[in-house]
Structure 1
Amino acid sequence: MTTAKSHLGRLSLLASSLAIALLSTGAESKEPSSSVASRIAADTPADLFGELFVAVQQSRIFDDGKTFVDAVPRRDPAVIMADYRRTRPATPDALRNFVLASFVVPGVNDTDPGSLRAHIRKLWPTLARDGDGEPTAPGSRITLPRPYVVPGGRFREIYYWDSYFTMLGLVADGRDDLVEGMIDDFVSLIERFGHIPNGTRTYYLSRSQPPFFALMLDLSKTTEPAVHARRLAALRREHAFWMAGERCAGAAFACERIVRMPDGSLLNRYWDGRDTPRDESFAEDRATAEKVSSRPPAEVYRDLRAGAESGWDFSSRWLSNPQDLGSIQTGNVVPVDLNALMWAMERRIETGCRKAQDLACEREFAGRAKARHSAMDRYMWVARERRFADWLLREGRPGPVLSSATLYPLFVGMANSAQARAVAGTTRQNLVARGGLRTTTLRTGQQWDAPNGWAPLQWVGIAGLRRYGEHALSREVASRWLNTVHRTYLETGKMLEKYDVEDVRPGGGGEYPLQDGFGWTNGVTSAILEQYTQLIERSNGPGTVTTP
């Protein structure tokens, strides 16, 4: 069987013979010297790159023969040829990588990452809103005092967990003013309502969303003691909201957002204070409950609402039958991502109290964080499956669904090194798709399942893997996701809410049409490009990385 190396060797020999023939022809030419000078001044790629040109065109590393001849050298052609003769790429892949590192190739690596970044920067003013002041008309809107950024599309108000990922991009793009304003807006919500609602509408007040407020505070650059004190007080009040069920959770029992595990330790779940259809999805919720004959409708409504609080609305994580939304059982699930975020919150309260010299508070939250960590290790770490898992209350076992939530303990820094290595292996084997991280490995038709990928989960994975030294995998996920976002942007002109990471195209599923805008996709994309400045977006391949 002919090898790529011997094939390229013969191409080099052919190129040498061709060069000699060209020189011989030139020596016998009867053209006037002025004509020869004119011809030399207009050297073609074949003239300039000789054996490299022949190797590229004959190996067909680009489908169109015109692609390479339209490429622009990044360095002097003589330097490129010297590098080529020194390295002698031995396979088509090696040859392609050499060419992409040496040339700007149209339709392949000719898009400056700054172009997508520039597009996102232009979107921020479109998605930004001024502070609302006092309500001027009756309606569902909850006002905010400072400017903020909305996700876009049908999401025309601020949303809780979306905003953290949006803020990552605002920091990368130098919009610290909006970051500080949004943090102040969230402080205002906690002071008025005791928690941050799902979004700034009255119909969202009965639930929250994944508690990222503590991590938002990490993005702040303010040094004012009074501001820190106010924000710490708000953070402690948010923690009290999530832990309110402590007063009524009995042995191995759940109350509100609190679950008492079999050993007496406390963990959290998602919950909602109402048990009626959601205002914004009224018909959909009633239709779902009508199909369930084995449970009171109020139970179904509560679980649907709790699924909305999770941000993963909806996913096989919450379903006893992955193909049936009516089997939703969110209240029966103790989620790994929620509890990782609660641990991060407790650690930051501990640090804030230590800086404030509040020793009683410091001790309390150090103890809470330690107890939560121990409980998660006991109930959520599944060593034989190399993953962190949700815990099912009634069944008394880990949930069966592998999802990108397994990366949250790495993201917040609570995994040990052995756990991190194991999760990285599971991620590489099961969750990495052509266009980024899968949400889960199950296809159910729900939008928080395969084949969809979502910007926040990409960042959780990228940052978590990088934190534990899994740099190659982190970079690979970043590259694949950027390729998905960029290709879809070139095709649609839009930044989208979610993407199909299997086929690298716009995502599907869910209760509403695909939305564009889009806050958290913009934020995560900018943050990735800021972190990995060497990534070049490509419009025709599955997440290849090149270094200019």
Structure 2
Amino acid sequence: MIRPVLALLAVALAAPAPARAPVSPTPLSPAQRFGDLYRQVQMRRLFPDSKTFADATPRRPDAAVMAAYRRCACTTDPALRRFIAANFTLPAAPIVRPQPRAPLAQHIDRLWPQLTRETRTVPPGSSALTLPRPYVVPGGRFREMYYWDSYFTMLGLPLAGRQDLVEGMVADFGSLVDRYGRIPNGTRTYYLSRSQPPVFYLMSGLSRDATTLATRNRQLRAEHAFWMTGERTLKPGEQHARVVRLADGALLNRYWDDRDDPRDESWREDAELAATTPARDAKQLYRDLRAAAESGWDFSSRWFADGRTLATIRTTRLVPVDLNSLMLGLEQAIAANCRTLRDAPCATAFAARAAARTAAIRQHLWNGRFFADYDLDTGAANDRLTAATVFPLFARVATADQARATARAFEPLVGQGGVRATLVPSGQQWDEPNGWAPHQWVAIQGLRHYGETALAARIKAAWLAGVTAEYRASGKLLEKYDVAERRPGGGGEYPNQDGFGWTNGVTRALLAEPR
């Protein structure tokens, strides 16, 4: 298999690169701008949520703020609080206006205006990034547009007659690629060092505006180039940023982050973890924490060396099955777009990339029973069953036999309220017993692709029953659910949030399907 894969990669790498739009300089994050002031605010727990100060806006230029801080006798918490109040505007508390109880689908449709934002301009010094069109936020503490959340959110918008928001959000994400050469985790300066699961091709496929296809495809190619940065110089067995080349020459991807310091939005949590694990290199620990944030699974036993403890996180040593399935989808989408646009060299090159990745996923991300993450240190797919195992079915990369075996292995993940992220009760939010909207959608669609309709129907019914039960009890749609017992989910670095973008989108789309 090695020679055909290498031949396909040779075709792919020989293709001309797309014309790149000018990329804006990456602005500094609040932690980078405010140094010791930022560290003091976070480590002294001035705010219960570490994200609060990351989202604060200085009332005057940074230099003036820091000069005043150096003069400030801010040795006590009250003094530091007074300084922050005088020099920063804190983000407003989220508001979800109460509504008369309505059928669930109608309630979701009424939520979209409450979750819609617009940031064509932002105040000087804000960590928020501007966007040209209105967009939908998840809700709660998540005041900005997020990458992979948004695709699942967008699934429900056309059903409420809001195709305009779909087109606007596609344009917004494209504008981020044009400015920064990537789509960040979220639209804040402190998210620019990482991306999230590459679902822009799926969003782009929701657009009904054929006149924007060339623009969207150029942006998809630029995003692909971001994920593949460094591929041309990699030797077998080497890795660079988000790209890995295995011993047989296969090119695959991993999650990464361009920074190796504490995350701005979780600065104290990361710094305290590093302090309790002195045997670990702090920079590598921070990189692995950040890489897990890029995965969207922040955090999960999936990434832990011991399968239980956050301190053993090693995200960058794993080649994730979900990421590579989505990268395959991106390559196939670019090839199809190029054929429509009559760009034969591009179509040939990306078809070759997709064929090479298909072979690599089937060979290296298959453990003999189900699809799993490839461990760079052991040189094989691991034996950890997670909800990510169905992504190759979603991307239609599995063989019929692999899909059938994966579906059987997947069944224990299905609880009363839908699909669990894992079967490990670690206390992290992407673990037992929590279920999340994106996994329900990916599992249902992936299983349907291979004729596993009974299991797909079981997941759909369980998810809708759980979401409906909580809505009847509290009037809310939540970020995550305990799918073992059909109640609100828990765990992680912050309380369960309501709103909630991707739950709304997936639930609305499933409710609209024929019974």
TM-score, normalized by length of structure 1?
0.74
| 1:54-93 alignment runs, 5 A limit | none
Instruction: Decide which of 129, 143, 157 is 2:117's aligned counterpart.
Output: 129
Partners of 2:441 and 2:335 lie apart in 1 by 25
- Which residue number corresponds to residue 384 of structure 2? 401
Q: Secondary structure at the match of 1:231?
A: helix
Give the Cα–Cα distance (whole angstroms) in 2 for the partners of residues 246 and 179 of structure 1.
Answer: 33
- In 2, the alpha carbon distance for the partners of 1:270 and 1:191 equals 22
In the alignment, is residue 347 of structure 1 matched against residue 332 of structure 2?
Answer: yes
Q: Pairwise mapping of residues 32-431 of structure 1 onto structure 2 (< 5 A)?
A: 115-130=103-118, 132-224=119-211, 227-383=212-368, 385=369, 387-428=370-411, 430-431=412-413
Aligned counterparts of 1:515 and 1:507: Cα–Cα separation in 2: 10
For residues 105-146 of structure 1, give each alpha carbon's deviation from its aligned partner in whole angstroms, at most 9, with x where no partner exists.
xxxxxxxx981000000100000113x223233210001000
Residue 362 of structure 2 contacts residue 397 of structure 2 at CA under 8 Å; is this kept in 1? no
- For 1:339 and 1:440, the matched residues in 2 are separated by 19
Q: Residues 457-480 of structure 1, C-alpha deviation per residue, up to 9 Å, x if partnerless?
A: 000001111122211111110000
Aligned pairs for 1:378-527 within 5 A: 378-383=363-368, 385=369, 387-428=370-411, 430-527=412-509
**Aligned residue number for residue 538 of structure 1:** none
User: Contact conserved, 1:275 with 1:298, CA < 8 A, in 2?
Assistant: yes
Please tell me whether the aligned partners of residues 316 and 401 of structure 1 are also in contact (alpha carbons under 8 angstroms): no
Give the aligned partner of residue 18 of structure 2. Answer: none
Q: CA deviation at 1:491?
A: 1.3
Cα distance in structure 1, aligned partners of 2:210 and 2:253: 32
User: 2-side partners of 1:519 and 1:229: how far apart?
Assistant: 29
Q: CA deviation at 1:321?
A: 1.3
Structure 1: distance between partners of 2:241 and 2:167: 31
Give the CA deviation at 1:515.
0.4
- Distance in structure 1 (CA, Å) of the matches to 2:479 and 2:233: 38
The one-letter amino acid paired with 2:240 is C
AA aligned opposite 1:125: P
| Identical counterparts, % of pairs | 55
**In structure 2, how many angstroms separate the alpha carbons of the residues matched to 1:380 and 1:134?**
44
CA shift, 1:219, in A, is 0.9
Deviation at 1:358, TM superposition (A): 1.2
Q: Distance in 2 between matches of 1:153 and 1:432?
A: 27
**1:396 Cα deviation from its structure 2 partner:** 1.3
Is 2:274–2:285's contact at 8 Å kept on the other side of the alignment? yes
- Separation of aligned partners in 2, 1:350 and 1:303: 32
For the Cα contact (< 8 Å) 1:336–1:389, is it kept in 2? yes
Other-structure match for 1:11: none
Q: Take 1:171 and 1:317, find their aligned partners in 2: how far apart are those partners?
A: 34
What runs of 5+ residues in structure 2 fail to find an aligned partner? Answer: 1-100
Distance 1:290 1:485 in 2: 39
Cα deviation digits, residues 220-259 of structure 1 (max 9, x gap): 11122xx111110000000000000214433201110001
- In structure 1, what is the equivalent of residue 510 of structure 2? 528
Query: SS where residue 169 of structure 1 aligns?
Result: coil
CA distance in 1 between counterparts of 2:282 and 2:198 reads 28
In the alignment, the residues of structure 1 paired with residue 456 and residue 297 of structure 2 have an alpha-carbon distance, to the nearest angstrom, of 23
Q: CA deviation at 1:173?
A: 2.4
The whole-number CA distance in structure 2 between the counterparts of 1:522 and 1:331 is 32
- CA distances 1:148-189 after superposition (whole Å, capped 9, x unpaired): 000000000000000000000112322110000000000000
Write out per-residue CA displacement over residues 315-341 of structure 1, whole angstroms, 9 at most, x where no aligned residue: 111110122101000000100000000
CA distance in 1, matches of 2:318, 2:488: 30
Contact 1:207 1:271 in 2 (8 A): yes
Aligned 8 A contact 1:173 1:526 in 2:
no
Cα-to-partner distance string for 1:178-216 (whole Å, 9 max, x where unaligned): 000000000000000001000000000000000000011
Secondary structure of the residue aligned to 2:252 is: strand
CA displacement, residues 344-367 of structure 1 (integer Å, 9 cap, x when unaligned): 000011111111111111111111
The alignment's C-alpha RMSD in Å is 1.2
Cα distance in 1 between the residues matched to 2:405 and 2:196: 29
**Structure 1 stretches of 4+ moved >6 Å:** none
Contact 1:436 1:477 in 2 (8 A): yes
Go from structure 1 to structure 2 and tell me whether the alpha carbon gap of 1:482 and 1:180 turns closer, same or farther (over 3 Å shift).
same
Once residues 205 and 219 of structure 2 are traced to their aligned partners in structure 1, the CA distance between those partners, rounded to angstroms, is 14
**2: CA distance, partners of 1:292 / 1:364:** 46
Task: Give, in angstroms, the shift of residue 382 of structure 1.
Answer: 2.1
Structure 1 unaligned residues grouped into runs of 5+: 1-112, 535-548
Supply the distance in 2 between the matched residues of 1:401 and 1:240 (Cα, whole angstroms). 30
How many Å separate the matches in 2 of 1:367 and 1:440? 34
Residue type of the alignment partner of 1:371: A
3-state DSSP of counterpart to 1:382? coil
Partners of 1:453 and 1:295 in 2: how far apart?
31
Secondary structure of residue in 2 paired with 1:284: helix
Amino acid at match of 2:421: T
Aligned length: 415
Q: Return the letter of the residue paired with 2:293.
A: A
